[in-house]
């Protein structure tokens, strides 16, 4: 009987200790370096993880976009609208772009004016490290969109661009935690 009580006591202690620890899966992982592409003037530059983090607002939406996919490229209009909707709420939108064509289609469409410049930079991930580091967050369509706080802790998962219910959750969470 003493052994059973002792075993239960140890299990309770271990379980309470584990409740206070955050899992690594609760946080977004950012690659060490990405190329920052400014759509206003079609220039790019290298950015380290600390450079990226230092420019983030109170809330950040990270989204992975396949810019080799023509349909996916036209999601930028939806992200532009979402960014304007959150303008007063200190929300950063960080599109992490990956490509099979060395970003050629993206650059061509931006430079030709077929895609309008964005109010936020694009982050080009030529080695697809962002998706690799965050495989545990991929949805059933291999998409990856999350809302995080200033500590990069994940608050919501999923893309709000075509899901009004999820968009309401994003808006409510951001408005209640400002």
Find all residues with CB under 8 Å of 44, minimum gap 6, and list them: 35, 36, 37, 38, 124
pTM > 0.75: yes or no: yes
Q: Report whether 39 contacts 118 (CB < 8 A).
A: yes
- Answer whether residue 39 shows pLDDT above 90: no
Ordered structural domains, the chain, with CATH:
28-176 (3.40.30.10)
Q: Report whether 66 contacts 72 (CB < 8 A).
A: yes
Helix (H) or strand (E) holding 111: helix 104-111
Q: Report whether 56 contacts 94 (CB < 8 A).
A: yes
- Answer whether residue 52 shows pLDDT above 60: yes
As a whole number, mean pLDDT of residues 147-152 equals 91
- Answer whether residue 177 shows pLDDT above 80: no
Residue 5, pLDDT score = 41
Residue 129, pLDDT score = 93
């Amino acid at each position: 009987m003493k052994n059973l009580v002792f075993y239960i006591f140890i299990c309770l202690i271990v379980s309470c200790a584990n409740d206070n620890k955050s899992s690594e899966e609760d946080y977004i992982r950012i690659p060490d370096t990405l190329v920052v592409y400014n759509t206003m003037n079609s220039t790019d530059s290298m950015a380290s993880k600390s450079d990226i983090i230092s420019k983030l607002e109170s809330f950040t939406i990270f989204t992975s976009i396949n810019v080799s996919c023509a349909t996916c490229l036209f999601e930028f209009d939806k992200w532009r609208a979402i960014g304007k909707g959150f303008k007063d709420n200190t929300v950063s939108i960080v599109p992490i772009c990956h490509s099979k064509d060395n970003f050629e289609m993206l650059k061509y469409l931006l430079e030709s004016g077929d895609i309008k410049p964005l109010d936020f930079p694009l982050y080009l991930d030529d080695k697809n490290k962002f998706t690799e580091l965050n495989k545990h967050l991929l949805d059933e369509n291999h998409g990856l969109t999350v809302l995080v706080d200033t500590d990069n802790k994940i608050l919501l998962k999923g893309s709000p661009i075509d899901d009004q219910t999820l968009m309401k959750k994003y808006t409510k969470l951001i408005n209640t935690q400002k």
